[in-house]
C-alpha cells in the first residue's frame, strides 16, 4: 500500500485524528511527504501534523514527552524525538542512532536533562509508512491498548482531551469488573481485595484513562543488565502501564506473561492486575472501614516512600470513601 492509501485507511483515520478535530490542517504536512519533502524533524513540522504523529506513536506504545508521559501537545520536542528514534532503532530504520544512544547513562533525576544525548531523528516517509503498517497490523491482531481497537481509541481520545473520569464514571465503567475480579481472586487464592480498593487505585493512578509513563533510567539500567534482550521488551518493562500503572518490570508479580501484556490485556485483565498487586497487602485491602494508618501503609506500598509529598494517602482516602458511598 502507498503512504496515501495507508493514511486513508478508516482505522488509521481514527488513530491519528480526534473526532472533534478537522484533519485538513495536518494533511498540509502530509502533502510535503507526498510531494517529495522526505523528512519532518522536531524543528520543521506543524502543530496539527505533530499531534497526528503523537497519536500514532502513543497508539503504538511510545512515550512522547521528555518526562516520560504520553502527551498529545503538538510539540515535536525531545520526548517525541526519542519516540521516533526508538521506533526506528527497533525496526532497523536508521543507521545514525543506535541502541546504546537511546539507553544513555542517567538516573531518575537526570534522565530528562540528559535526553539531548539522543540526536534529532528524521521522520522519513519510510518510517511513517512502517508506523502506519504496524498500527494496522496490531489493530488486526488485537495487539493494542486493552486488546480492543475501539477501546484503545476511547482511551487515546480521552488522553488527547485530558477527559479523565470521576468516581461515578469509573464505577460505571469498571465497577462490575472490580467486583468480578475480587470474587474470582478470593476463590482462587482465598485473598480478599475489596472492589472499592481496586477502584480507588484506578482513580488515583489513571482516573480511568490509560496513560502509561516511560522511565528512561529504568531502560538505561535494564539495558546494562540485559544487553541481549530486545530493546522493545526492555522499553515495555521500563513503563508503568494499565489502569493501575503497574511497572512493566513487575509483570510476573501480577501474573502477566510479559511486560507487553500489561499494555495489551483487556480491561478486565488490567483490573485484575491491580487486584493482584494489592493482594500483597491483604491485611489492609480486605477492610471495609480502614484506619488512617491503613491509607498511609497502602500509599507507601503503591507509591513509594515519598508518597506523603504527593498527599497520596489523603487522595486515596478520599476516593475510597467516595466509592463506599456510591456502592
Question: pLDDT truncated to tens, each residue of the chain (327 aa)?
Answer: 787 788 889 999 899 988 887 666 666 666 655 554 555 555 555 677 788 899 999 999 999 999 999 999 988 889 999 999 999 999 999 989 999 999 999 999 999 999 999 998 888 888 989 999 999 999 999 999 999 999 999 999 999 999 999 999 999 999 999 999 999 999 999 999 999 999 999 999 999 999 999 999 999 999 999 999 999 999 999 999 999 999 999 999 999 999 999 999 999 999 999 999 999 999 999 999 999 999 999 999 999 999 999 999 999 999 999 999 999
200/292 Cα distance (integer angstroms): 15
From residue 283, alpha-carbon distances to 149, 150, 194 in Å are 38, 38, 11
Q: Which H, E and C letters describe 142-156, residue by residue? A: CCCHHHCHHHHHHHH
Count of positions (residues) in the chain:
327
Instruction: Judge whether 243 and 267 are in contact, CB under 8 Å.
Output: yes
Q: What are phi and psi of 241, to 5 degrees?
A: -140, 170
pLDDT, one tens digit per residue, over 71-82 is 999 888 899 999
263/302 Cα distance (integer angstroms): 19
Q: What's the longest Cα–Cα distance across the chain?
A: 65
Instruction: Judge whether 86 and 102 are in contact, CB under 8 Å.
Output: yes
Which are the contacts of 50, defined by CB distance < 8 A and separation ≥ 6? 74, 75, 76, 80
What percentage of the chain exceeds 90 in pLDDT?
A: 81
246/219 Cα distance (integer angstroms): 16
244/264 Cα distance (integer angstroms): 14
pLDDT, one tens digit per residue, over 135-186 is 999 999 999 999 999 999 999 999 999 999 999 999 999 999 999 999 999 9
Instruction: Judge whether 6 and 134 are in contact, CB under 8 Å.
Output: no
pTM above 0.85, yes or no: yes
Question: Which ranges of 23-145 does DSSP label H, i.e. alpha helix?
Answer: 27-34, 47-60, 78-90, 99-102, 125-141
89/119 Cα distance (integer angstroms): 13
**If residue 302 lies in a helix (H) or strand (E), which one and from where to where?**
helix 292-303
Instruction: Judge whether 275 and 182 are in contact, CB under 8 Å.
Output: yes
312/304 Cα distance (integer angstroms): 10
**Grid cell digits, residue 45:** 513540522
Instruction: Judge whether 148 and 266 are in contact, CB under 8 Å.
Output: yes
Cα angle: 116, vertex 119, 121; to 5 degrees: 125
Nearest residue to 60 via CA among 202, 203, 235: 235
Amino acid at each position: 500500500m502507498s503512504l496515501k492509501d495507508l493514511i486513508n485507511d478508516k482505522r488509521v483515520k481514527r488513530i491519528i485524528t480526534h473526532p472533534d478535530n478537522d484533519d485538513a490542517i495536518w494533511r498540509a504536512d502530509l502533502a510535503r511527504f507526498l510531494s517529495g519533502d522526505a523528512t519532518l524533524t522536531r524543528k520543521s513540522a506543524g502543530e496539527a501534523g505533530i499531534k497526528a504523529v503523537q497519536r500514532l506513536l502513543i497508539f503504538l506504545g511510545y512515550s512522547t514527552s521528555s518526562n516520560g508521559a504520553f502527551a498529545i501537545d503538538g510539540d515535536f520536542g525531545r520526548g517525541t524525538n526519542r519516540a521516533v528514534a526508538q521506533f526506528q532503532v527497533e525496526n532497523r530504520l536508521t543507521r545514525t542512532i543506535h541502541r546504546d544512544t537511546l539507553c544513555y547513562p542517567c538516573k531518575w533525576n537526570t534522565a530528562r536533562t540528559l535526553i539531548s544525548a539522543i540526536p534529532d531523528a528524521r521522520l522519513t516517509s519510510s518510517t511513517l509508512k512502517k508506523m502506519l503498517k504496524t498500527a494496522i497490523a496490531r489493530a488486526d491482531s488485537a495487539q493494542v491498548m486493552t486488546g480492543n481497537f475501539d477501546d484503545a481509541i476511547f482511551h487515546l481520545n480521552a488522553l488527547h482531551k485530558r477527559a479523565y473520569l470521576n468516581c461515578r464514571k469509573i464505577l460505571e465503567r469498571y465497577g462490575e469488573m472490580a467486583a468480578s475480579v475480587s470474587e474470582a481472586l478470593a476463590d482462587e487464592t482465598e485473598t480478599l481485595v475489596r472492589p472499592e480498593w481496586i477502584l480507588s487505585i484506578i482513580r488515583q493512578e489513571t482516573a480511568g484513562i490509560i496513560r502509561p509513563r516511560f522511565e528512561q533510567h529504568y531502560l538505561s539500567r535494564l539495558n546494562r543488565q540485559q544487553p541481549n534482550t530486545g530493546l522493545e521488551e526492555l522499553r515495555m518493562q521500563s513503563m508503568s502501564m494499565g489502569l493501575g500503572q503497574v511497572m512493566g518490570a513487575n509483570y510476573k508479580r501480577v501474573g502477566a506473561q510479559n511486560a507487553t501484556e500489561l499494555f495489551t490485556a483487556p480491561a478486565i485483565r488490567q483490573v485484575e492486575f491491580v487486584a493482584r498487586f494489592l493482594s500483597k497487602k491483604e491485611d489492609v485491602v480486605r477492610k471495609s472501614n480502614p484506619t488512617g494508618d491503613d491509607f498511609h501503609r497502602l500509599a507507601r506500598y503503591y507509591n513509594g516512600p515519598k508518597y506523603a509529598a504527593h498527599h497520596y494517602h489523603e487522595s486515596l482516602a478520599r476516593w475510597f470513601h467516595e466509592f463506599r458511598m456510591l456502592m
